[in-house]
Amino acid sequence: MKKDYEEQIQKLLARMTVEEKIGQLQQCGPSLVGAFDVSFEELLNMMFDGRITQEEFNRLMGTAQQDFHEEDLRAGKIGSYNGIGDSATANRLQKIAVEETRLGIPLLFGYDVIHGFRTVTPIPLAESCAWEPELWERTGRVAAEEATAAGIHMTFAPMVDVAKDARWGRVSEGAGEDVLLNGLYGAAKVRGFQGDDLSRENAMAACLKHFAAYGAVEAGQDYNRVDMSMQRLWEEYMPAYKACVDAGARAVMPAFNDINGVPCTVNSWLMRDVLRERWGFDGLVISDSNAIAECVNHGIAEDKKDAAKQAILAGMDMDMSSNSYISCLKELVESGEVPEQILDEAAADVLRIKFELGLFDDPYQTDEERESHAMLKEESRALAREAAVKSIVLLKNENKVLPLKADAKIGLFGSLASDKEQMTGAWAIGAKPEDCVSILEACRMRGIPFQYSENLTDAEKIAADSDVLVAAIGEMKEESGEAASRADITLSPEHMALIEGLLATGKPVVAVLFNGRPLAIPKLAQKVPAIVEAWHLGVEAGNAVLDVLYGDVNPSGKLTVTFPAAAGQCPMYYAHINTGRPGGKSKFTSKYLDAPVEPLYPFGYGLSYTAYSYGDLEVKKEDEALLVSVSVTNTGDRDGQETAQCYVQDRAAKRVRPVRQLKAFEKVSLKAGETKTVSFRIPFSELCYYDWDMKEVPCEGFLKVYVGGDCQAALTGEICL
Ligand code: GLC
């Protein structure tokens, strides 16, 4: 039951000056200062555009220290920090806030704890392939245990931006292309981060992001425009954010992008009408980094002052690092352009989350003792390994190359097999590369007979000595995440050359992919007999990969994103509409001349070391819901876990509907030869959609149901609602 702090909030507000209220809305981070008289951002730009050399940049960085703006803090001009990741610094700053400011209002520390803190777990896109909300919650809980021990009160996560374009680098940060999965993933993370009592010292406020539809940036180009129908926005994007609000997330971060021409940062329809009025959200709304000031670039604000005015009137409570509020709001309030009531509401939202986090009662919720004991516990590593193994997707396994025999001698190739740092993936802010287990290290630890080479040097000799060759290829961690869109999502020439060289030896080749997005790998898929999708798996990457390669674990991961055959097919996703001329053999159908109609690997797909069959599909209805049941049989000789998926298609609706939409799934464990009946109950309310006039309409008439192990499931049922 959420406690009501309104009386304390109003009492405190009544004592605050306008400046102190504005100070609560200011989030800043430590800035780098040194023997350079420009900002760190400008220094970076000078290096990028060649105005200074890399050597000069490095020299200047050698003089850099962090400026925590203590004087502004003492003056009550800072309410929150971003980017503080250790308890000593957090407590030092907190002490100034509590003991040296007029009202002693504690600070709120926010940071990007996206997939673990020190115990880095698989990137969200990887972990989503486990199709296991209970796992997602458990890893969220460990992240909160470690991050709060380091002084962090709020994480800028979960990110639940539905992403259908593999060119967008931030596809790595969410749960893929499906809105149901993103919502379940996000809600599980909110529960894991926040626990059942936000005032506890190991509870971390969740800040869902990026609100809204950031994953729909045009052409997969980061920070680009988002323009879509309201029908599409509400059917394919908004439910994921709402699931996080319904799960109790206490903060929301509007997205950098516009929606149909109005940037989310100044979009009152989004922040007030939808978030607060319709969804009843009463938490904190914090901008993305520098986003308020960037409304000038968007062309929606004349200057910083205009941007500040629009943002706070639209419902943005806190300004992350643009200094728009701290520099412009006082004048806006004094002139009456911004009513003080609006300022009070924003300040109240900041005070509320601080009360809910227990910061007024105990501003020092951690110390170095707790921090040192919290990190990288054995059980945390074990959980990271479990999550990593469950995130791995077996894409190809011809002639049962996998699992490897226990005594198999392997030739291990590729820099990614030894590069520990790359295993963490994007946004691993608390990671220490030395904590990560590479494949190379895992081989040593398991006593596997292997030889290693970063490249084709000695490939012939090593291959002659090996039973199988394992090539670690894919993407560096910087090639996905923020500001990492790629126009070409194929493997690098170096990695393809490595594969060709290994294939030339005549020994079987297993490709292990480390990547943060779907890759267009038709050549690899055609040439090598086995492909393991290992994403960026975190601290236990090497052990998890070997667990699967040697069959200690039977892989069960299922793709939550479509793998296209070419970047030119992007955005490519399973829940597409049929069109009047669905792609097929005939020329005059919807397709490309130079690419296949079908994806390379479809949504929901993933192989196992055993096999499964589906049968006895039954589709019935009761007054409020669709009832679907199916039998799933493990037809192979190994125990395994299969994620049975249920898709629905409205065959004749008031607007064209996707050919399939995931409406339910269940991950079942099946012993070799075992059969289980899996049942799904899908409320009719989850089948609604919007008509031309944006009226919500029920799914009615002729409905098709598809059940199986991926979105191309052939087992079909029909029903008339
Ligand atoms: C970044 C990202 C956002 C992150 C924030 C704070 O620009 O867009 O996801 O939480 O800044 O680091």
Phi-psi region of 128 (alpha: psi -120 to 50; beta: other; left: phi over 0): alpha
Report the pLDDT value the prediction gives residue 32, as an integer from 0 to 100.
83
The first and second tokens of residue 457, run together, are: 């040097």
Condensed to tens digits (0 to 9), the pLDDT of residues 641-700 reads 999 999 999 999 999 999 999 999 999 999 999 999 999 999 999 999 999 999 999 999
Q: What's residue 619's pLDDT?
A: 98
The CATH superfamily assigned to 378-569 is: Glycoside hydrolase family 3 C-terminal domain (3.40.50.1700)
- CA pair distance 136, 132, nearest whole angstrom: 6
Residue whose entry in the numeric block shows the structure tokens 């030894």: 418
pLDDT of residue 508: 98
Residue 61 pLDDT level (bands cut at 50, 70, 90) = confident
Q: What pLDDT, in 10s, does the model give residues 703-715?
A: 999 999 999 999 9
Atom of ligand 1 lying closest to residue 157 CA = 10
Q: What is residue 404's DSSP assignment?
A: P
Tens digit of pLDDT for each residue in 258-271?
A: 999 999 999 999 99
**Predicted confidence band of residue 1 (pLDDT cuts 50, 70, 90):** low
Bridge partners, residue 716, by sequence? 706
CA 259 to ligand 1 centroid distance, Å = 18
Kindly indicate the confidence band of residue 41, based on its pLDDT and cuts at 50, 70 and 90.
confident
Q: With bands split at pLDDT 50, 70 and 90, how would you rate the model's confidence at 59?
A: confident
**Ligand 1 nearest-atom number relative to CA 156:** 10
Is residue 361 pLDDT above 90, yes or no? yes
Characterize the bridge pairing of strands 154-155 and 108-111: parallel
For a pocket test of ligand 1, which of 27, 81, 108, 112 has the largest count of ligand atoms closer than 8 A to its C-beta? 112
Closest CA to ligand 1's atom 12? 112
Q: Is the CB of 294 under 6 A from ligand 1?
A: no
Residue 254: pLDDT above 80?
yes
Cα 22 to Cα 325: distance, rounded to the nearest angstrom: 7
Reported residue count of the chain is: 721
Residues with a catalytic annotation lie at 288
Q: Is 222 in the pocket of ligand 1 (CB under 6 A)?
A: no
Q: CB of 156 closer than 6 A to ligand 1?
A: yes
Domain boundaries, the chain: 2-34+70-372, 35-67, 378-569, 612-720
Residue 665 Cα distances to 128, 459, 662, angstroms: 13, 44, 8
What is the predicted pLDDT for the residue at 637? Answer: 96
**C-beta separation of 573 from 562 below 8 A:** yes
User: What spacing in Å lies between the alpha carbon of 289 and ligand 1's midpoint?
Assistant: 6
Residue 58's pLDDT is 87
112: Cβ below 6 Å to ligand 1? yes
Q: Ligand 1 atom 8: the closest Cα is on which residue?
A: 288
Whether residue 130 has a cis bond before it, omega within 30° of 0: no
- 2-34+70-372 has which CATH code? 3.20.20.300
Q: Is 173 in the pocket of ligand 1 (CB under 6 A)?
A: no
Q: What is the mean pLDDT of residues 579-605?
A: 97
Longest pairwise C-alpha distance within the chain: 81
Neighbours of 708 (CB within 10 A): 22
Please state the rounded mean pLDDT for residues 154-165: 98
Confidence of residue 197 (pLDDT cuts 50, 70, 90): very high
Which of 223, 288, 290 most suits a substitution to test ligand 1, by most atoms within 8 Å of the C-beta?
288
- Under the banding of pLDDT at 50, 70 and 90, the label for residue 90 is very high
Nearest to 27 by CA among 146, 108, 92, 112: 108
Nearest CA to ligand 1 atom 6: 289
Instruction: Ligand 1, residue 159: give the atom nearest the CA.
Output: 9
Q: Among 8-17, 36-45, 124-133, 262-271, where is mean pLDDT lowest?
A: 36-45
Burial of 558 (0-12, 13-18, 19+ CB in 10 A): buried
pLDDT of 3 over the 90 cut:
no
- Write the pLDDT tens digit of every residue in 131-152: 999 999 999 999 999 999 999 9
Q: Which atom of ligand 1 is nearest to the CA of 290?
A: 7
> Model confidence over 543-580: pLDDT tens digits?
999 999 999 999 999 999 999 999 999 999 999 999 99
> Nearest C-alpha to atom 1 of ligand 1 is from which residue?
289
Helix or strand or coil: residue 329? helix
**pLDDT band, very low/low/confident/very high, at 408 (cuts 50, 70, 90):** very high
C-alpha of residue 113 to centroid of ligand 1, in Å: 11
Ligand 1: residue whose CA is nearest its atom 10:
156
Find how far residue 195's CA is from the centre of its chain.
20
Question: Which band of pLDDT confidence, cut at 50, 70 and 90, is reported for residue 44?
Answer: confident
Kindly state the average pLDDT of the residues 474-501: 97
CA 288 to centroid of ligand 1, rounded, Å: 6
Supply the pLDDT for residue 2: 67
Distance from C-alpha of 101 to C-alpha of 103, rounded to nearest angstrom: 6
CA-proximal residue: ligand 1, atom 11 (nearest): 289
Residue burial 159-193, b: 16+ Cβ < 10 Å; e: rest: bbbbbbbbbbbbbbbbbbbbbbbbbbbbbbbbbbb
Does this model's pTM top 0.95? My answer is: yes
How many CB atoms within 10 Å of residue 351? Answer: 27
| Alpha-carbon torsion (69, 70, 75, 76), positive or negative | positive
User: What's the CATH fold of domain 612-720?
Assistant: Immunoglobulin-like (2.60.40)
User: Whole-angstrom Cα distance, residue 651 to residue 659?
Assistant: 8
DSSP line for 9-67: HHHHHHH--HHHHHHHTEEE-PEEEBSBSS-HHHHHHHHHTTSS-HHHHHHHHHT-EEE
Q: In this model, does residue 528 exceed pLDDT 80?
A: yes
Average pLDDT, the chain: 97
Residue 663 tokens, joined: 């409406």
